[in-house]
Amino acid sequence: MSKIYSFPPNSTTIELWADQTFRRAKRVVTGHYGSHVIHNRDEYLHANWAIYAFRIPKDGEYWIRIQYACDGPPHGPRPVNISSDYNGFNVINANALATSTGGYSTKYQKWETVGTARYLEGVRTLRIHRSRPFPHIRKIIIEYKNHL
């Protein structure tokens, strides 16, 4: 853990594998549902979170997109809170990834644009939090939208 991503040279997009977190709750684990997928152990009544760290090359607004899978009732959907560290932790979307994709394996992975975040140049973070089990998250894309 403790991974800090960097944007590739001359790129406006960075891809983060979900299992390469900066920090995460002990109950957030990998495996069983495909490469790079994070999910929860059987401790369903505990809060879960993951934090991703990355270097922002220039001040601006950035699109946040997440690839995830989640079954329907009774075990889903599993909406999460997405926040950024711009001026403290600000909520980007309090009800992200709230739609069932039909299952948990990689064949059910879907992309969702969860919102935009304002970031200043430097090392920044993105936090995913839920008071119950996560959906199964595989990848995060952060893409430059425009200058602040």
Taking the mean position of all CA atoms in its chain, how far away is CA 77?
16
Question: Rounded to two decimals, what is the model's pTM?
Answer: 0.89
pLDDT for residue 148:
67
- CA pair distance 120, 23, nearest whole angstrom: 21
Distances from the Cα of 17 to the Cαs of 45, 55, 73, 75, 123, in angstroms?
26, 15, 27, 24, 17
pLDDT for residue 134:
83
pLDDT along the chain (148 residues), means of 10: 82 88 70 75 68 92 95 87 79 94 92 94 91 88 88
Name the CATH superfamily, with its identifier, for domain 4-146: Galactose-binding domain-like (2.60.120.260)
pLDDT for residue 28:
67
Pairing mode, if any, of strands 90-96 and 110-119?
unpaired
Pairing mode, if any, of strands 48-56 and 38-40?
unpaired
pLDDT for residue 66:
97
User: CB–CB of 16/54 below 8 Å?
Assistant: yes
Domain edges within the chain: 4-146
